[in-house]
């Protein structure tokens, strides 16, 4: 409906909305519709009111002119219509003006040779009074003499506004030598106060009706617009509920649909609702197909990993057994068996990681209990000292134990993987700082290094499986690309979050986990430690 407004009107309303206090940003559809309805009602009321006042004033003025014509006829005696040179006669004694025929307020004046000779006014009591011939009154009367049509003039503050008419007459004066007749003008006027009062009442009535009608129009507009937009609001609620669903991972049951009452294709809103339902159906089908594909891949990875564990264990065992035999084997054979053993160990680790991820995807392989995260962090840092003595690792933990609900072995794996990642992708001698604390009801672990940082292009996919950041950091050891993926999977399995901040001065990984129950009395204290 707002499109029905002229472009300039819409622009002005938009600019006005920006200036209104409390209105930030563009108008909503509800606001535009209500403003459009109210603007149309106001515009229509103003036009109708203006035309009504104009027509009423024209009619009243025409009626007043008719009354003025009658007053002019009564102010002059009858003339002989058979004489072509005859003029209305006006007796100077005022006998023709003092009769009871004129209505109260009637004004008459005689102008001879451009001079106002005499003026009369019928008072409200019916008596004839002679108003003072002020300069304003004289000038006004003289200005209307000789005009062919009635005019509206002001006769001063004492008399007010009048509708006057000028008539050519013969001014007769009786002297000793006889009766002389002089051409003159008779000015007759009627007050416009009755017309002004009627117009004022009309304007006040229109304004009052406009205000009442505007209030009613606003109330009706609110009700109508709210009723008309309610289907859109329900669709918006449906879209918001869909947007809040975790569609990026896991099995998603996309059962949200627009109500059937909002899918009537005979209406514009219904067509939108039907289209939204079709789109949600397509999305649900795509999610189901994606989930089936992921389930097949996960099942394959789990089965393959499980089946590979036994032959890998055999390869590793036979290689170790051969290497430890006292048989006199050539040096190159001993070296080859050692390499076979080490690669079997590496492949076993990869298979275990894949199997762990597959089990986490299925929601398994977690033994939840209240564990002391402080002790886990300290143990992981001590292990890092042994595994990477070339890196300077320090840790800061709080005085009181930080208890979380989780799987102690997997939580240890989180810290160990982050420390391994820092040790693998930073040069020797780099400093790694580990902190543990409590923020906003969560246990927060941060692992920061002063290495070269991570390329911005790698950050979005850093926690994905088989993601590598070799180009951004120095690499000294092989990497499966599953360490951070396991960190992400284990953290989410515990209901926590993991994030990373990187710059050219290093990278900081932050793990947040929900707190668990306090440590029972008698448990070994963690204490503050700086390793």
In a domain, 457, yes or no: yes
**pLDDT-derived band at 51, boundaries 50, 70, 90:** very high
Are 309 and 203 members of one domain?
no
Strand ranges inside 176-246, DSSP E = 178-191
In a domain, 522, yes or no: no
In a domain, 529, yes or no: no
Are 375 and 501 members of one domain?
yes
Structural domain boundaries enclosing 16: 2-60+199-240
Are 276 and 232 members of one domain?
no
Are 216 and 174 members of one domain?
no
Dihedral pair phi/psi, residue 122, rounded to 5°:
-85, 120
The CATH number of the domain holding residue 326 is 1.10.287.130
Among 339, 365, 391, identify where a domain stops.
Answer: 365
Residue 522 pLDDT more than 60?
A: no
Average the pLDDT over 153-173 and give the result. Answer: 83
Residue 493 pLDDT more than 80?
A: yes
Residues contacting 138, CB < 8 A, separation 6+: 116
Are 492 and 506 members of one domain?
yes
Are 298 and 233 members of one domain?
no
Query: Which is more confident, 66 or 277?
Result: 66
Are 373 and 361 members of one domain?
no
DSSP lists the bridge partners of residue 499 as 510
Are 235 and 261 members of one domain?
no
Other beta carbons within 10 Å of 88 = 18
- pLDDT tens digits, 467-488: 665 544 444 444 566 778 888 8
In a domain, 312, yes or no: yes
Average predicted confidence (pLDDT) for the chain: 77
Q: Tell me the pairing of strands 431-439 and 392-396.
A: parallel
State the pTM of this model. Answer: 0.47
In a domain, 296, yes or no: yes
Average the pLDDT over 515-531 and give the result. Answer: 45
CA distance 528 to 412: 19
Dihedral pair phi/psi, residue 480, rounded to 5°:
-85, -15
In a domain, 68, yes or no: no
Are 478 and 424 members of one domain?
yes
Domain count for the chain, please give it.
4
- pLDDT tens digits, 372-425: 989 999 998 898 888 888 888 899 888 888 888 888 888 998 898 899 888 888
Are 101 and 218 members of one domain?
no
CA distances, 391 to each of 116, 291, 341, 445, 450 (Å): 120, 42, 27, 19, 11
The CATH number of the domain holding residue 495 is 3.30.565.10
3-state secondary structure of 315: helix
Are 373 and 510 members of one domain?
yes
**pLDDT-derived band at 289, boundaries 50, 70, 90:** confident
Q: What is the pLDDT of residue 100?
A: 45
In a domain, 463, yes or no: yes
In a domain, 74, yes or no: no
Helix axes 193-243, 29-75, angle to 10 degrees: 170
Q: What is the pLDDT of residue 169?
A: 80
Are 451 and 500 members of one domain?
yes
């Amino acid at each position: 409906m707002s499109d029905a407004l002229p472009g300039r009107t819409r622009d002005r309303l938009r600019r006005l909305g920006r200036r209104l206090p409390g209105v930030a940003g563009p108008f909503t559809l509800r606001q535009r519709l209500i403003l459009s309805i109210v603007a149309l009602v106001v515009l229509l009321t103003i036009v109708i009111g203006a035309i009504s006042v104009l027509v009423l004033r024209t009619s009243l003025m025409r009626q007043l002119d008719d009354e003025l014509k009658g007053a002019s006829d009564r102010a002059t005696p009858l003339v002989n219509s058979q004489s072509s040179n005859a003029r209305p006669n006006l007796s100077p004694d005022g006998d023709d003006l003092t009769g009871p025929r004129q209505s109260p307020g009637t004004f008459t004046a005689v102008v001879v040779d451009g001079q106002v000779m005499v003026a009369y006014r019928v008072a409200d009591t019916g008596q004839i009074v002679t108003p003072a011939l002020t300069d304003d009154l004289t000038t006004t009367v003289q200005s209307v003499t000789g005009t062919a049509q009635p005019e509206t003039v002001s006769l001063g503050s004492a008399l007010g506004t009048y509708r006057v008419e000028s008539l050519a007459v013969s001014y007769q004066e009786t002297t000793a030598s006889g009766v002389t007749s002089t051409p003159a003008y008779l000015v007759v006027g009627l007050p416009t106060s009755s017309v002004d009062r009627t117009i004022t009442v009309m304007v006040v009535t229109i304004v009052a009706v406009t205000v009442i009608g505007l209030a009613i129009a606003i109330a009706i507009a609110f009700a109508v617009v709210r009723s008309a937009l309610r289907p859109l609001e329900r669709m918006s609620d449906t879209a918001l509920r869909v947007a809040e669903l975790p569609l990026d991972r896991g099995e998603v049951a996309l059962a949200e649909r627009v109500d059937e009452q909002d899918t009537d294709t005979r209406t514009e809103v219904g067509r939108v609702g039907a289209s939204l339902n079709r789109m949600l159906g397509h999305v649900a089908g795509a999610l189901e197909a994606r989930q089936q594909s992921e389930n097949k891949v996960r099942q394959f990875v789990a089965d393959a990993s499980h089946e590979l564990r036994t032959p890998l264990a055999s390869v590793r065992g036979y290689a170790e057994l051969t290497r430890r035999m006292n048989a006199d084997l050539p040096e190159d054979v001993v070296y080859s068996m050692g390499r076979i053993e080490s690669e079997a160990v590496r492949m076993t680790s990869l298979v275990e990681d894949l199997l762990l991820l597959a089990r986490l995807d299925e929601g398994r392989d977690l033994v939840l209990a209240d564990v002391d995260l402080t002790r886990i962090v300290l143990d992981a840092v001590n292990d890092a000292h042994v595994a990477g003595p070339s890196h300077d690792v320090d840790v800061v933990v709080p005085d009181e134990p930080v208890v979380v609900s989780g799987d102690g072995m997997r939580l240890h794996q989180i810290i160990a993987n982050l420390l391994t990642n820092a040790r693998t992708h930073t040069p020797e001698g780099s400093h790694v700082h580990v902190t543990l604390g409590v923020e906003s009801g969560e246990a927060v672990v941060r692992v920061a290094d002063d290495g070269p940082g991570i390329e911005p292009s790698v950050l979005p996919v850093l926690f994905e499986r088989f993601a590598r950041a070799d180009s951004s950091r120095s690499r000294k050891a092989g990497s499966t690309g599953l360490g951070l993926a396991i960190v992400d999977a284990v953290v989410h399995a515990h209901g926590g979050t993991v994030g990373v901040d990187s710059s050219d001065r290093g990278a900081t990984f932050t793990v947040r986990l929900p707190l668990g129950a306090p440590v029972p009395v008698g448990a070994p204290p963690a204490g503050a430690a700086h390793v």
